Amino acid sequence: MIPSKFDYVRAESVEHVVQLLQDSDGEGKIIAGGHSLLPLMKFRVTEPGKLIDISRIPELKGVRLERDRVIVGAMMTHREVAENPIIKEHIPVLSDAARLVGDIQIRNRGTIGGNIAHGDAVADLPAPALALDANLIISGEDGLDVINIDGFFLGPLITALPENSVVTSISFEIPPSNAKSAYLKYFHPATGYPVVGVAVVLGVNSDGLADYVRIGITGSGDVAYRAKSVEQELIGKPLTEDVITQASKLAADDGDIGSDLFASETYRRNLCSVYTRRAISSLLD
Amino acid sequence: MAGKVGARIKRKEDPRLLTGNGYFSDDIQLPGMLHAAILRSPHAHALIKSINIEKALEAPGVVAIYTGKDLEGKIGRIPSSWLIPGSNLKEAPQYPLAIDRVRYVGDGVVLVIAEDRYGVRDVLDLIEVDYEFLPVSVRQKEAMQENAPLVHDDIENNIAFHWKAGEVPDEEIEEAEVVVRESFNVQRVAPSPIETRAAIGQYNPGNGELTLWCTSQNPHIHRMVLSEVLDISEAKLRVIAPDIGGGFGGKIGVYPDEALIGYAARDLKQPVKWIEERNEHFSAANHGRDEIIDVELAGTRDGKLTAIRVKNTANMGAYLSTFGPGVPTIDFGLMITGAYDIPKAACETFGVYTNTTSTDAYRGAGKPESTYQIERMIDLFAREIGMDPVELRRKNFAKKEDFPFTNAQGLVYDSGDYEKPLNKALEILDYKKLREEQEALRNEGKLVGIGFSTYVELCGFGPSAVAGAIGFQGGVWENATIRVHPSGKVTVFSGTSPHGQGHNTTFSQVVSDKLGIPLEDIEFVFSDTKAVSMGWGTYGSRSVAVGGGAISIAADRIIEKAKKIAAHELETSVEDIEFEDGVFKISGVPGMERKFVDIAKSANYAWNLPEGVEPALEAQAFFDPENFVYPFGTHIVVAEVDKDTGQIELKRYIAVDDVGRVINPLTSEGQVHGGIAQGVGQAMWEGIVYSDQGQLLSGSFMDYTMPKARFFPTIETAFTETLSPVNQLGAKGIGETGTTASIAAVMNAVVDALQPYGVTDVEMPLTPEKIWNIIQTGGENDDTI
Ligand SMILES: Cc1cc2nc3c(=O)[nH]c(=O)nc-3n(C[C@H](O)[C@H](O)[C@H](O)COP(=O)(O)OP(=O)(O)OC[C@H]3O[C@@H](n4cnc5c(N)ncnc54)[C@H](O)[C@@H]3O)c2cc1C
C-alpha cells in the first residue's frame, strides 16, 4: 500500500500553518497524527501534493480550565486525553471515549484535533464532543474563529472547516455538578471503530427528574449527531425503565442512518436505541 | 537428553524472530535490484481492447513493461497440480498475464519493472487499458445454469470437473425412518497471513542459474513446476523460501506472479523484487472454501445412522489453482461420514469456474467443510429424534475395537478411540450441570447454547502410490538428512518447509531424544532447493507425521553406523553395543563406553574405521508412509446470544484433541489456538463478498473481519494420546485440527442457543444482524436468513 508522491514540511507555528496552506494552491494538507490521513493516502483515495506537519507546534498542546469550560489543544493525543486529570475530573466522558479509540499505538499517535477535523462518520470523539457542546477554535486566513460542533459535520469526511485553516483547540462545556456521564460503544469487529457510540451526559434533580440531558451519537449516521429527540423526551421526567426505553426508541431519529456490508439501516437504528438505553440505564443506581 | 519428546519446550526460533533478526522476503536487498508491480484487472470479466503504455514508458526509472501479449510463448501456462481422475476435469489454460481477456478482479494485466519501489507503483496509474465488459458468472450454482455466461468459452456450463465417490441408492434415503436434509454454505474466506506474497528473482547470465526467493510453503514444488513454466533446467533453478509470515494454504499455490518475477529477472539480467500489497493480496492470492453443501442424512428413530448423501458445489474461481481440485473432492468427499460408522455414503462434487479469484487449500482443506456438514447434521438429526446430541454421537462412533476402521468411502482410519476425548471434554465442561443451567437461563429469557464437534480429520498424506491414484501431481513422501559434524553438532536437512509452525523446536526434540544430544547442538536447513535434495513442503498437517518420520529413520541410520564404529573402537561386536542417552556402551561392562561426540569425531577423522565402513557420519532417509493419519477429538463451545443486538459471546471453548504423540504440548497448544481462531473466524466473522458484478466488496481489513484475541474466552485445551501406527513417532497432525473442529462447534452452539426460534441453520458468518433478524421474526423467515 504505497501512497503517491508528496512533499513534506514541518510547520513552526499556527500562523506558519495557515501561510503554508495558502501557499500550496489547494495541494497542502495538514497532518497531525496521520492515523486517518495516511491510510487514505495509501489507498490513494486522497493524493495531497504536500503534507504540513503540525505535530511540533507547542501552542497546539495542553489542557486548561477556563471558567465553565475545559480547553484541549488540538494536538493532544488520544492517550493524553484519556489520562489527563483535568479532563477526567470535569469531562470524564471525553476520556472514557478516548480510551476506547483503536489500540494503544493508535492512541499514542492519533489526536483529538485530527479525530474531529477529519469528519469521519465513525470516529469516536464526535459523540462526547456533541454531548459536551464543544466549540472548535480555529485559526485561518481571517484570524480566529469559533465553530460549534453541532453543525460542524456536513457529510462523510466533509466539515464546515473553512479552507486554509487549522483547529487549534477544542473547548468543552463542563456539565452541571449533578451530572453523570457514560460512553458506550459497539465495536465494529473488523476495524474497532464504533458501529454505534453513544455519549450521554445526564443530570437528575432532587425530585428524581432529569434536568440536564445531552446525548451525542456517532458511528451509525452519515455524520455524528445530537439525539435531541431523546433529550427532549427525557427532560423533566422521572427516569423509569419505561421512560428510558420509550425515549431511546427515538435515538436514530436525528441521524441520517445508513447501510453497509456489515449492517443495514434497520439494524443500526436498533443499535442506536439499544445502546442509548443501556448508556442511560448505566448511570442510574 | 532423553525425555525431550513430550516436554513443554519454548520455541527455538523465537529469540531470533522476536529480536527482529528474522530474514523475510522484504529484507532481501541485492545489488542492482529492480522493483516490480503488477497492474490488475478492476473488472470481473472483460475483453482487453487495447493497452496504452506510452506515458508509463516515459515515467522516471521505468526499465521494462510487459503485457500478456509480449509474454506469449515466452512463459508457459501455470498448471494445476491436482488433476482428479475420473472427473472429466477440464483445465483452462492460465497464462502469467491475461492475454486478451480478464476473468476476475485481480487478474494480472501488465507487469512493470522500475528502479524504485515507490516509483513502480506510480507507473501503474499511467497505464491505460481499454476494456469491453462481458457478462459475468459469480456464484457457482448460477454459473452451472444453461445460459450462464461462460468463463472459458470451450468449457460447457462452466463445469471444471464432476467427481463422485460412493453410492447410496434412493431407497436408502426414501425408505429410512428418519431423514434430515439441510443445505450449508461454507462461505469463501481469505487466508490472510500477516505477510503477503513476495518474490525476488536473481539470474546469473554466466551459468544460466536462476534463484527465486518466494513465499512458498513448498519450494520444491515451486521448483518442479516453475522449471517447466520458465523452460529452465530444474538443476539450474534454485527456489528458496526465506522466513515466511504465515501461509495457511495461501502459499501452496504456484502463482503466475512468481513465474513473472523469475522471467523478468532472467530477461533483464538484473535482480527483480516484488512485494504484494495488502489490497492486491485480497484479490490476487488464492481464497479458500466457497462450497455449497447439500446433505441428506438417514437413520432410524432410535438413533442409528444408516446413510449419508452429499452434494458439494464448489466455486473454483477463474482457474484451477495448484491443489484446488483436490479440496472439495478427495479431501472433502472421502471424509463425509466423519467419526461415525455410517454404512452407506455417497458424495458428488461439481467444481465450477466463475469470474472470481481461484480457491485453493485453506487450513484444513476440505476437512473443515466435511466436518462441518456431518457435525451439523448430527445435531439436526438428534433434534429430530429428540435425542441428546452427545448420545447420538456415542451411539454412532466408530468403535475403539474396530480400528483400523474402514469408513464407508474406503478410507482406513489408522487409530482411534473417540470416546476418550469426548469423556474428557465433558468432564471439563460439567455437561449435566450446564444443561440444567441452560434450561434455567432459557426460562429467564436468556439464549445460551452448547455446541459439539466430535471430529476426525485426515492428514499426513501417504503413501505416494495413493497420491498418484488420486491425481496428485507429485509424491507425498518426505526426505531428511542428518549430518553429524566432527564436533558432534548436527545439521538436519528436511524437505518440509516451516512458515510459523515451529519445526525447528519439535524436530530438535525428536533428534535430541534419538541421538542423546542437547537441543542447542541441532540446527536445521529447510526450504532451499539447493541445500535440501527434495521434499514436498508443509501443508496438510504433514510435517511431523511424515517429515518427523523421515528424521526418525535418518537418526536410526546414524545410530546404526555409529554403533559399528563404537563396537570397533571398543573391540567388541555390534550386537553387544547399547546406545542410550548419547552413550555407546557394552552391555554389562561398566566403563567401556564412547560418547556420541567421540564417534562423531572418529567417524569424520576416519583414522580407524571398521572394515567396509565409509568415513563421515551422515544419513538420509526417504519416508513414504503406509497410510494417512487421522487425528480426532472433541470441541465444545458455550455461547450466549444478546437478544437486543444479536451479538454472540463465546463463554467457553474446550478443545480436547487426540493427535497421537504430542511432541511438544506448548507448541501444540499454539497450533490448536490458532486453528480454532481461524475456524471460529469463519463461523463468526470472516467472509469474502463479491457483488453480482463480481466486484470484490470485502477487499480490505476495513470490511474483512479477522478474528482478534479479545473475541475469545481462554481456550481450555487438553490432549489424549492414541498413537498412530503409521510412523515411528506415533504422531498425527495438529496444524489443522482446530480449524476442522471449531466451525461446527460454534455453529452448533449458536443454533442450539436459538432453538426457541426453531431455526435449523444460520448462514455463516454469524453476523449479529442475521441473529437479530431471527429473533425479530421469531425464526419465521428461517429460509431467507
Ligand atoms: C487501525 C486504526 C484504528 C482506528 N480506530 C479508531 C477508533 O476506534 N475510533 C476512532 O475514533 N478513530 C480511530 N482511528 C483513527 C484515529 O483515531 C485517528 O488518529 C484520528 O481519527 C485522526 O487523528 P490524526 O491526528 O491521526 O489525524 P490525521 O490523520 O493527521 O488527519 C486527519 C485529517 O484531519 C486533518 N487535520 C488533522 N488535524 C487538524 C487540525 N488540527 N486542524 C485542521 N485539520 C486537521 C488532516 O488534514 C486530515 O485531513 C483509527 C485509526 C487506525 C489507523
Domains by residue range for chain B, with CATH:
32-134+194-246+251-284 (3.90.1170.50), 362-460+627-776 (3.30.365.10), 477-623 (3.30.365.10)
- Residues B58 and B113: beta-carbon distance below 8 Å: no
Residue pointed to by grid coordinates 459475468: B136
Q: A271, B645: Cβ pair inside 8 Å? A: yes
Which of ligand 1's atoms lies nearest the C-alpha of A113?
A: 41
Residue type for B582, please? G
Nine cell digits for residue B13: 526460533
Give me the pLDDT at residue B784, please: 38
Nine cell digits for residue B526: 529447510
Q: A274, B125: Cβ pair inside 8 Å? A: no
Which of ligand 1's atoms lies nearest the C-alpha of A165?
A: 43
Residues A101 and A35 in one domain: no
**Domain end: A173, A188, A219, which one?**
A173
Best of A9, A21, A115 to mutate for ligand 1, by most ligand atoms within 8 A of CB? A115
Maximum distance among all Cα pairs of chain B, rounded to whole angstroms: 87
Q: Is residue A198 part of a domain?
A: yes
Q: Which residues contact B294 (CB under 8 A, 6 or more apart)?
A: B181, B182, B183, B184, B310, B311, B312, B313
Q: B769, A2: Cβ pair inside 8 Å? A: no
Residue of the nearest CA to atom 3 in ligand 1? A102
H or E stretch covering B236: none
Residues A167 and A185 in one domain: no
Residues A206 and A260 in one domain: yes
Q: B697, A261: Cβ pair inside 8 Å? A: yes
Nearest residue, CB atoms, A191 vs list B118, B278, B702? B702
Q: Ligand 1 pocket, A30 CB below 6 A? A: yes
Q: Ligand 1 pocket, A79 CB below 6 A? A: no
pLDDT in tens, B215-263: 999 999 999 999 999 999 999 999 999 999 999 999 999 999 999 999 9
**Domain end: A129, A150, A173, which one?**
A173
A186–chain B Cβ distance below 8 A for any pair: yes
**C-alpha angle B277-B281-B286 in degrees, rounded to nearest 5:** 160
Q: Is residue A117 part of a domain?
A: yes
From chain A residues 16-45, the ones with a CB under 8 A of any chain B CB are 43-44
Give me the pLDDT at residue B462, please: 87
Residue type for A49, please? G
Residues in B lying within 8 Å of A, measured between beta carbons: 117-118, 121-122, 125, 277-279, 644-647, 685, 689, 697-698, 700-706, 708, 711, 767-769, 772-773
Q: Is residue A79 part of a domain?
A: yes
Model pTM?
0.96
Number of domains in chain A: 3
Nine cell digits for residue B560: 546404526
Which of ligand 1's atoms lies nearest the C-alpha of A111?
A: 25
- Residues B220 and B479: beta-carbon distance below 8 Å: no
What whole-number distance in Å separates Cα of residue B635 and Cα of residue B171? Answer: 34
Q: Which residues contact B238 (CB under 8 A, 6 or more apart)?
A: B209, B210, B211, B212, B223, B528, B529, B530
What whole-number distance in Å separates Cα of residue A91 and Cα of residue B48? Answer: 59
Give me the pLDDT at residue B779, please: 66
What whole-number distance in Å separates Cα of residue A217 and Cα of residue A126? Answer: 8
Q: Provide the residue range defining the domain that includes A22.
A: 7-53
What whole-number distance in Å separates Cα of residue B710 and Cα of residue A58? Answer: 37
Chain A positions touching B125 (Cβ under 8 A) are 4, 44
- Residues A160 and A118: beta-carbon distance below 8 Å: no
CA nearest B196 in A: which residue?
A1
CATH for A140? 3.30.465.10
Give me the pLDDT at residue B1, please: 57
What whole-number distance in Å separates Cα of residue B135 and Cα of residue B246? Answer: 36
Smallest CA-to-CA distance from B506 within B3, B4, B1 is with B4
Give me the pLDDT at residue B783, please: 44
Say if residue A140's pLDDT is above 70: yes
Residue pointed to by grid coordinates 464526535: A126
Q: A189, B685: Cβ pair inside 8 Å? A: yes
Question: b or e along B348-375 (b: 16 or more beta carbons within 10 Å of the residue's beta carbon)?
Answer: bbbbbbbbbbbbbbbbbbbbbbbbbbbb
Residues A84 and A69 in one domain: yes
Which of ligand 1's atoms lies nearest the C-alpha of A60?
A: 41
**Bridge partners of residue B52, in order along the sequence:** B128
Residues A90 and A20 in one domain: no
Question: b or e along B641-675 (b: 16 or more beta carbons within 10 Å of the residue's beta carbon)?
Answer: bbeebbbbebebbbbbbbbbbbbbbebbbbbbbbb
Q: Is residue A236 part of a domain?
A: yes
Give me the pLDDT at residue B778, please: 84
Residue B712 C-alpha, separation from nearest chain A C-alpha, in angstroms? 12
Quote the ligand 1 centre to B248 CA distance (angstroms): 33
Chain A positions touching B708 (Cβ under 8 A) are 189
A262–chain B Cβ distance below 8 A for any pair: yes
Give me the pLDDT at residue B591, please: 86
What whole-number distance in Å separates Cα of residue A228 and Cα of residue B5? Answer: 66
* Burial tier of B48 (Cβ tally within 10 Å: 0-12, 13-18, 19+): buried
DSSP reduced 3-state for B639:
strand
Q: Is residue A1 part of a domain?
A: no
CATH for A258? 3.30.390.50
Alpha helix (H) ranges present in A74-227?
Answer: 78-83, 85-90, 92-99, 104-109, 112-117, 126-131
Nine cell digits for residue A180: 453523570
Smallest CA-to-CA distance from B243 within B198, B277, B206, B293 is with B198
A190–chain B Cβ distance below 8 A for any pair: yes
Q: Ligand 1 pocket, A202 CB below 6 A? A: no
Show the low-confidence residues of chain B (pLDDT under 70). 1, 779-785
Give me the sign of the Cα torsion angle B365, B369, B371, B374. negative
CATH for A39? 3.30.43.10
- R_g over Cα of chain A: 19
Chain A positions touching B681 (Cβ under 8 A) are none
Residue positions counted in chain B: 785
Give me the pLDDT at residue A274, please: 98
Residues A147 and A116 in one domain: yes
Which of ligand 1's atoms lies nearest the C-alpha of A39?
A: 53
Best of A1, A111, A112, A187 to mutate for ligand 1, by most ligand atoms within 8 A of CB? A111
Nine cell digits for residue B459: 492428514
Nine cell digits for residue B782: 428461517
- Which stretches does DSSP call E strand in B664-743? 715-719
Residues A259 and A225 in one domain: yes
Quote the ligand 1 centre to A118 CA distance (angstroms): 6
Q: Ligand 1 pocket, A33 CB below 6 A? A: yes
**C-alpha angle B89-B372-B313 in degrees, rounded to nearest 5:** 30
Residues A201 and A215 in one domain: yes
Quote the ligand 1 centre to A140 CA distance (angstroms): 20
Q: Is residue A2 part of a domain?
A: no
Give me the sign of the Cα torsion angle B645, B651, B653, B654. negative
Residue B23 C-alpha, separation from nearest chain A C-alpha, in angstroms? 21
Residue of the nearest CA to atom 6 in ligand 1? A102
- Which stretches does DSSP call E strand in B425-576? 447-456, 478-484, 490-494, 522-525
Q: Is residue A272 part of a domain?
A: yes
Residues A169 and A79 in one domain: yes
Residues A102 and A41 in one domain: no
Residues A150 and A247 in one domain: no
Q: What is each CA distance from B474 to A262, B442, B533, B537, B545, in whole angstroms?
A: 42, 54, 15, 11, 18
Give me the pLDDT at residue B7, please: 97
Q: Ligand 1 pocket, A18 CB below 6 A? A: no
Which of ligand 1's atoms lies nearest the C-alpha of A187?
A: 8
Residue type for B404, please? P
Q: Given 3-state DSSP classes, what are the helix, strand and coil percentages for chain A, each rounded to the nearest 5?
A: 30, 30, 40
φ, ψ dihedrals at A43, nearest 5° = -80, -5
Q: Ligand 1 pocket, A124 CB below 6 A? A: yes
Give me the pLDDT at residue B782, please: 47
What is the pairing mode between strands B478-484 and B617-623?
antiparallel
**Bridge partners of residue B735, in order along the sequence:** none
What whole-number distance in Å separates Cα of residue A61 and Cα of residue A33? Answer: 13
**Domain end: A155, A173, A191, which one?**
A173
Number of CB atoms found within 10 A of residue B22's CB: 14
**C-alpha angle B225-B226-B231 in degrees, rounded to nearest 5:** 110
Q: Is residue A193 part of a domain?
A: yes
Residues A37 and A112 in one domain: no
